[in-house]
Amino acid sequence: DAKTTQPNSMESNEEEPVHLPCNHSTISGTDYIHWYRQLPSQGPEYVIHGLTSNVNNRMASLAIAEDRKSSTLILHRATLRDAAVYYCILSLRNAGNMLTFGGGTRLMVKP
């Protein structure tokens, strides 16, 4: 199954945009790119997902490279509530396309 690579941690200032990168060089043509985040002591929460085209929703934007080997989650204005671990995930094709979580990126937001 394809794996993802993310930086361990990133810092941002409040009210500034944040770009969280993810590499997935072994992605297959049918793999969706998912982003989830996990706030302290909570279960993961869906953020956004996409296949080939860039995606926008109320929480974030997802920019997918043309070759699909990398993607970037964009938070347009970071708030203190956005401090969390962000996971970039591809699906486990040999397990019903369930999700496999890597280590994620811990985002710290400074006031």
Cβ proximity to other proteins, 87 vs 109, nearer residue: 87
- Binding flag, residue 45, other proteins (CB under 8 A): yes
Q: How many CA atoms lie within 13 A of 25 on its CB side?
A: 2
DSSP assignment of 56-77, as one string? E-SS-EEEE-TTSSEEEEEESS
Question: Amino acid identity of 67?
Answer: D
Binds other proteins (CB under 8 A): choice among 26, 98, 108, 110:
98
Helix, coil or strand: residue 81: helix
Q: How many CA atoms lie within 13 A of 96 on its CB side?
A: 1
Binds other proteins (CB under 8 A): choice among 91, 105, 107, 109:
91
DSSP state, 50? E
- Binding flag, residue 30, other proteins (CB under 8 A): yes
Binds other proteins (CB under 8 A): choice among 39, 51, 65, 80:
51
Cβ proximity to other proteins, 96 vs 111, nearer residue: 96
Residue ranges in contact with other proteins by CB under 8 A: 30, 32, 36, 42-46, 49, 51, 87, 91-92, 95-104
